Amino acid sequence: MKQKHTLTMSDGRYYLVLRLILFFLLATFTISVPAAPAAAAEPFTAATIGDFGHVTVMEVSGNYDQMTPEGLVNAVPRELIAQEFYRTHKDEYDFLTIFSTFDFKLKAEAVAFYLGVKNDTLGIGSEVFDNGHLYGSGGKLQGTVDMGNITKLASSPLDPRFEFSLDILAHEMLHRWSAFVKFRDASGNLSAALLGKDGSHWSYLLDSKGSLEYGNSWRDNGDGTFTSVAARKYYSPLDLYLMGMIDSSKVPPVLLIDNPSIDPKKVSGAGDTISGTPRYISIEDIVSAEGERVPKAEVAQKQFKMAFILITPGTLTRDDLNGVENIRKGFLTRFSILTDGQGLVQIAPTKKEELATNPDVLPPDATPRTVTPSIDEGVSWLLAAQQEEGYWGGLQTAPRDTAKAITVLGNFPLTGTAQPRALQWLAASGAKNTDYLSAKIAALAHAGEDFSLFIDALLSMQNPDGGWGSNRNYQSDPIDTCSAMQALLAANSTAAAGGKGANYLLARQNADGGWGFQTEASSNVLITAEVAAILQRLPPANALAMAVNTATAFLLNRQNLDGGFGSSPSTVYETALAYRALSGVISDATVLKGAINYLYAAQGSDGSWQQEPYSTALAIEALHLSGMSPPVIPTSGTVTGTVVDRATAQPLDGATVTFAGDSAITTVTAAGGVFSLADVPAGAQSIAVSLNGYAPATQSVSITAGSILNLGSIKLGPNPTMGMIKGVITAAASGEPLADVSVTITGAFAGTVLTKGDGSFAFVNVTPGAMTITASKTGYRSAAGTGTIIAGSVLSFHPQLTIQSPLPPPPSSTPGTLMGRIVDGATNEPLSGVAGFLKSNPTIASVSDAAGGFTLEDVPPGTQAFEFSLPGYATSTATVEISAGAIVNFGTFALSSYPTTGSIKGLISAAVDGRPLSGATITVTGSFSGSTVTGADGTFILEGTPGSVTITVSKAGYAPLTGTGTVSVGGVLVVNLQMTELIPVPTTSDLAGTVHDG
C-alpha cells in the first residue's frame, strides 16, 4: 500500500485510530486490524497512527529482525521508522527508542540493541561519522535503541523486574559513548584489555565500579583473590567521563585483574570470586591512547531529548501503551540518578507546527475535586470500574488489582454482585507468578472462601533461604517474599514457612532501616511499608521490634512537605501503604494526619484516585482505617536529629537514642547518623544518646504535642577513661576514599579493622599509651604513623595511599623486576625448586616456591634473556623486555620434562595378502617385560624402559616370529612384521619383516 503524506488516512489506519479512541473511551482491551495477505519478500513499511500521550504509535509490516539473512545489521527498517517519525515531528531528538508489540529475531543473548547514527565526539575510542541523512535527520539524531517486545518487558513499577527494564535502556543509551577505549600500557603499546564482549563492553576482569556496561566491582580480598560485590548497576566514573558528565580529574585509576585463564568477554557476575594479579590503569593511560575527550565536560551536552515509538503490525492493547509510559516515567528519574544529577533526558513528542494533532487518548490526569472528599464516592467509582468478567485493572495486573479491590470492598455494605463475580474470576484465573498466586490466596481467605488448592503451591515455591522469588526456583527477593507472607497471614498459616520468611526479610533490611525491591537494591517507601506492616502482625520478638523501629525511622524521614510519602513527589499508593504501616506503631497526629490530608486532597472529581483501581483501593483502605478510631488528640511529639563525632563531625550510625523517662521509647541512628524518635511525651524531657566507645550524652528538650522537633547535631565524645583512633583512608592520586584497607594497631593496644566503603575506620575503647598505626592494601604502598593515646582523646590517622603501579617513570638505568610462575608443561601443575637466572649476570637468580612463583630483582633495563632449569626437565630460555624500574609479570612459563621411557609400535599383517591381523600377541622381554594384543587394524604399542629387547609375535594358525632391537630414551622402535599361515602346521618358520629404530 502506498503511503500517503497528507492528513487523510487510509481506511485501515483510520479504522485503527478510531478503534484506539473507542478503546480508551469504552475501556475495551484489544485492538485488531485485519492484516493484508503477506507477499513474498515484502518490503518494510511504517505509517504513523498518531501520538498517544508521550508515545508515537506506528503500524509496520515487513522483516524487522536485528540482522539480515546475510549477517548484516538490518538498518533499513530503523531508517524508515525514523523518516516516518520526522515526517510529522521536529528534528530535535538525540535518540529514538523503539518498542514493538511483536517478537523479532535478535542476536544470541541480546535483549535489546543500540544502533549508532552519528558520533562527533573525539577521545572515546569511536570513529567520527554521521548517517543522519539516512534517517531523515539533519544532524541532530545520535542513535536508535531497540527495546524489543513490550509484552516481554517488566513494565509495572511494582514488578521487581521493572528495575531491569530501566537498566536495559540505560545500558543501550550508554553505548553512544561506552565502551570502546584502549589504553597505552607500561611498554608504550596500545592495549584493548579494558574491553570485553564484542569489543563494546567492559572486560569481566575490570573493576568498572559495577557499570551497566559490564565489568564488575571487585573487592580485593588481600590473598590474591577478588570478589565481585556489584555488577550492572551504575554509570562508573569512567563512563561518566566518556559521556562528558565529569572531567578527567574525577576519574580514579581503575583496577584491571591479570588472569589469562579467565575470558574477559564473560558477562558480569556479582558474587564471583577469582584470582589474579592486580594492575591499575590511569585516565592518563587512556588519554595517551585515545586523546582528550572533545568536547570537554565543561561544555559537553548534558541534556538530551528522546522519543518513544511503539510499532505494531495491527494489534495493540492499553497495557502496551501504559507499559511504555511507565518505562518513560521511570527512566526520566533513573538517568538523572545514574549521572549524579549531571544529566537530564526529556521524553516527549513535538509535532511540526503545520500538522494537526490526534486526540490524546492516554488516561487523563484526574480532575481535582472542588467538593468535600468522600470515601463513599471512592467506593462507588471502584464498583463501577469492575469489568463485566469480574476483574479490575489491566490484564497484566488484574489479579493484584482484583484481590486488593475485593478485600477493601469487603469493609462496606451494599456491594451487590461485585464480590462473588470477583471471587469467581480469581478462582478461575491462572497464577502466573508468586505475586498473583499470593493475591488470590489473600482475597479468598479474607472472603472466607476455600483457598486450600493454592496454599500448597505457594509453600512449595519457598526457597531454602526462606524467601520467595517471582516464580518457582527464581532467586528470592523482598517484594515477592512480602506478597507470599501477606497471603500466609491472611490464611493464618505462618508457622514454619512464615518464620523462615520473616528471617529472610530481617536479613535483607538495609542499613538505613528500609528495604528495596531486590536484595542490595536501594530502600524505597513502598516495599519498606509493606514489610513493616507484615512484621507487626507476627508474634512479638526483639528482632522484629528492632526491625520495625528502624523501618519506622526510615519511613518518617520520607514524608514530604505535602504530608504524603514517596521519593518526591508523593504518590497515593506509597502514602496509603506508609499510613497503614505507621498507624500501627505511632500515634503522632502530625505525621498521620498529614498523610490522611494528602490522600483526601488527591481524590479526583469522579471519586477515584488517579482513575486507577489499585491506587483507589489503597486510598480507601487507609481512609477507612483512619476512621475506625476516634480522632487522635496528640499527647506526644517526635524528636529528630543527627548524631556526630565531636572531634571530626562525622555522622555516627548505630547510636542508641532513648527517651530518659521510658526506655521502651528508643531508636537507633541510621546511615548518616539520622534518627527519628516518636511518641515522646509533651513537656520538658531528656533524650539520652549512647554508642560503644563514646561517652553518653543527654539533651534536654521541650516537646509540644503533635510537633516534630529537630535537634540538629548531637555531638558525642570518646569514653573518658579510654581513647579512640579513627580516620579516613584515601587514594593519593584521586582523593577518593579506599574501602577494605587493612588498618593495624600495635603497641599499648592491638587490633585490626578494614575501612568501610567511605574509607573510614574507627577503633573504640583504645587503651591509653604509645602505638603504631599501619594502613595497607594490595596494589598500594603501605603507610604508617605513631602516636600516643591519652584517656578521653581521639587520635586521627588520615593517610593517602599511593598506587604501587604504575610508578612515575624512573631514570633509564633503574633496574626492573621480573616475576612469574613456572608450571609443568604436560600437567600445568606448579613446579617448585626451578632455578632461574639472568644469562648476562647469573648472580641475579631466584628459585621458584611451592606455588611455582619466582621473582628476579635488580634486572638491568632492556631486552634480557633468562634461563630456567630443573632436574628431569629440559632447560628453557625466555627473552623479556624490561623497562626501567618496571615490575614485569611474565605470567605462566612451562617446562617440558625429559622423557624416561621409550616405546615399541608396529603393524602385524598376513604375508600372503598383507591384510592386518587382529588378536596377535606381542611379547617383549629384556630391558622391560610386557605384552599386548593387536587391534582390529593390526597395530600395537608398548611403552617401557629403554634398552635391548626381544620381541615375540604369536597367533593361532600362524608361525610365531621372534626378533631383537633396542629401545632408546624417548624413541620409538618400529616393528612391522608379516606372519605366514600354517598349512599344515610346520615345526619351524622363517622370520620375515623389518626391525628398525623410529
Task: Give the per-residue SS3 of 61-78.
Answer: ECCCCCECCCCCECCHHH
Say what percent of the chain tops pLDDT 90. 31
Q: Mapping DSSP to helix (H, G, I), strand (E, B) and coil, where does residue 506 land?
A: helix
Q: What is the pLDDT of residues 54-102, one digit of tens each?
A: 899 999 999 999 999 888 999 999 999 999 999 999 999 999 999 999 9
Same fold, 723-801 and 816-895: yes
Residue 27 has pLDDT above 50, yes or no: no
Q: Residue type at 731?
A: A
pLDDT band at 360 (very low <50, low <70, confident <90, very high): very low
Note the pLDDT of residue 61: 93
Determine the CATH number of domain 636-716.
2.60.40.10
Which three three-digit cell numbers place residue 911? 604375508
Domain 907-997: CATH class, spelled out: mainly beta
CATH number among 2.60.40.4130, 2.30.42.10, 3.40.50.1000, 3.30.70.1140, domain 816-895: 2.60.40.4130
Range of weakest confidence among 424-428, 583-587, 753-757, 929-933: 583-587
- What are the residue ranges spanned by the domains of the chain? 49-185+231-246+289-350, 186-230+247-288, 636-716, 723-801, 816-895, 907-997
Q: Which among 630, 603, 533, 597 is positioned nearest to 379, based on CA atoms?
A: 603
What's the sign of the alpha-carbon dihedral 866, 867, 870, 872? positive
Overall pTM > 0.85: no
Q: What is the pLDDT of residue 327?
A: 93
The amino acid occupying position 165 is S
Quote the cell numbers at residue 306.
528522546
DSSP sequence for 821-872: EEEETTT--B--S-EEEETTEEEEEEE--TTSEEEEEEEPSEEEEEEEE-TT
Q: What's the CA gap between 486 and 449, in Å, rounded?
A: 16
Pick the more confident residue, 753 or 369.
753
- From 94, 81, 173, 184, select the one nearest 140 (Cα to Cα): 94
User: Shortest CA distance to 33 belongs to which of 42, 20, 51?
Assistant: 20
Residues 830 and 851: beta-carbon distance below 8 Å: yes
The Cβ of residue 443 has, within 10 Å, a number of other Cβ atoms equal to 27
Q: Are 488 and 467 in contact (CB under 8 A)?
A: no
pLDDT digits (tens, 9 = 90+) for 848-872: 988 888 888 999 998 888 888 888 7
Cell (9 digits) for 772:
603504631
Q: What is the pLDDT of residues 221-237, one digit of tens each?
A: 888 999 998 888 899 99
The per-residue pLDDT for range 293-340, each reduced to its tens digit, is: 999 999 999 999 999 999 998 767 777 888 999 899 889 888 988 888
CA distances from 507 to 253, 284, 543, 565, 585 (A): 34, 42, 10, 25, 21
Confidence tier at 641 by pLDDT (50, 70, 90): confident
Q: Can you list the positions of beta strands (E) in 80-134? A: 95-100, 113-116, 118-119, 129-130
Question: Which residues, 6 or more positions from 676, have their beta carbon under 8 angstroms from its beta carbon?
Answer: 552, 553, 556, 557, 638, 639, 640, 667
Q: With b meaning 16 or more CB within 10 Å and e meaning fewer, what string describes 291-310?
A: eebeeebeebeeebbbbbbb
Q: What percent of the chain has pLDDT over 70?
A: 86
pLDDT given for residue 891 in this prediction: 64
- Confidence at residue 368, expressed as pLDDT on a 0 to 100 scale: 54
| Cα of 530 vs its chain's centroid, Å | 24
Q: What pLDDT, on a 0 to 100 scale, did the predictor assign at position 15?
A: 33
Output the CA angle 138-143-144, nearest 5 degrees.
115
pLDDT at 767: 85
Q: Which residue has the higher pLDDT, 450 or 895?
A: 450
For the segment(s) 723-801, the CATH number from 2.60.40.1120, 3.30.70.1400, 3.90.870.10, 3.40.50.300 is 2.60.40.1120
Looking at residue 32, its pLDDT comes to 29
Confidence of residue 166 (pLDDT cuts 50, 70, 90): very high
Quote the pLDDT of residue 287: 93
Confidence check: pLDDT of 993 > 80: no
Which pLDDT belongs to residue 822? 83
DSSP for 952-970 reads EEE-TTB--EEEEEEEPTT
Above 70 in pLDDT, residue 807?
no
Find the mean pLDDT for residues 31-44. Answer: 43
pLDDT, position 147 = 97
- Check whether 718 has a pLDDT greater than 90: no
Indicate the pLDDT class of residue 802, thresholds 50, 70 and 90.
confident
Return the minimum-mean-pLDDT range out of 127-131, 239-243, 966-970: 966-970
Residue 985 pLDDT > 50, yes or no? Answer: no
Note the residue count of the chain. 998
User: In the predicted model, is pLDDT for residue 889 greater than 50?
Assistant: yes
Residue 48 pLDDT > 60, yes or no? yes
| DSSP tag of 324 | H
- Residue 739 or residue 805, greater confidence: 739
Q: How confident is the model at residue 890 (pLDDT cuts 50, 70, 90)?
A: low
Closest to 506 in 3D by CA, of 534, 544, 480: 544
